[in-house]
Amino acid sequence: MFKYNKNRNASGEATAASNKSPLKRHYNELLFAALALIPVALLAQNPAPTPPYSGQAELSKVEEWVLSQGAVESIAPELAAILGVGSDRLPVKLKSYRTSDGISLAFAVSTNPKQEGIVLSALKTIADKMKIYSVGTAWLTDRSGTLRRTIAVDASGARVLPDSSRASEFKNIKAFFVKKLQATSPSTAASSSPRTSATAAGGKNGTK
């Protein structure tokens, strides 16, 4: 599983680490209480394309928003290593939103000046009689929005995928967070580009 080591957030919610088995603890150490691979049905409900931001910092405003208002979390060493952002636990600021399908969409920004990067993820937590794990995808990017690495997560762990294999999902999750920023602070989001005119799509889901 891919999961954040979460502190209690402003709404009083917290993700409890399991102590029932080594496997369960392993998955619960692996970052984001985030998003499973975004299903086609979900994307169909939110078809608006990524706003036409210009310049070299497509996600810079989202990054600033998450750094200023996101929850303090960390990425487990195992996940940081496979993403290529060091071998130690990586401190991050996080914004995540859970869909009605139980999918968590997460945007995490490294707060380690030696390991800069942004991790986007779409993971869904699965619980069966034997274990708890997450299924989905995580992407390493930066404030330019350039895809750096793609990771698949499932019951067996995490593995690197060709970037082209999940590029469309990556584009959609970037658009999702740009819209969330626009809904939260339209004037701030619009200031990143004078050409931005897409209507902000606000959701009722709260930050996790």
Element at 137 (helix H, strand E): strand 132-141
What is the per-residue pLDDT for 94? 97
155 falls within a domain: yes
Per cent of the chain over pLDDT 90 is 48
As given in the structure block, the two tokens for residue 77 are 């060493």
Whole-number Å distance between alpha carbons of 190 and 175: 14
Residue ranges making up the domain that contains 86: 22-186
Name the average pLDDT for the chain: 74
Question: CB-based contacts of 36: which residues, under 8 Å, 6+ apart?
Answer: 102, 103, 104, 122, 123, 124, 134, 135, 136, 137
By the 10 Å C-beta count (0-12 exposed, 13-18 middle, 19+ buried), 64 is classed as: middle
Average pLDDT value for residue range 87-98: 96
Q: Is the model's pLDDT at 38 over the cut of 90?
A: no
As given in the structure block, the two tokens for residue 6 are 């979460």
What is the per-residue pLDDT for 76? 86
Where does the pLDDT of residue 19 fall: very low under 50, low under 70, confident under 90, or very high at 90 and above? very low
204 falls within a domain: no
Whole-number Å distance between alpha carbons of 172 and 205: 17
What is the per-residue pLDDT for 131? 85
What is the per-residue pLDDT for 24? 42
Whole-number Å distance between alpha carbons of 142 and 89: 19
1 falls within a domain: no
Q: Buried b / exposed e across 37-48, counting CB within 10 Å, b at 16+?
A: bbeeebeeeeee
4 falls within a domain: no
14 falls within a domain: no
As given in the structure block, the two tokens for residue 173 are 């999750």
Number of domains into which the chain is organized? 1
Residue range 157-204, pLDDT digits in tens: 899 999 999 999 999 999 999 999 999 876 655 554 433 322 233 333
Average pLDDT value for residue range 52-62: 68
pTM, two decimal places: 0.66
83 falls within a domain: yes
200 falls within a domain: no
Higher-pLDDT residue of 79 and 167 is 167
Element at 71 (helix H, strand E): strand 71-75
193 falls within a domain: no
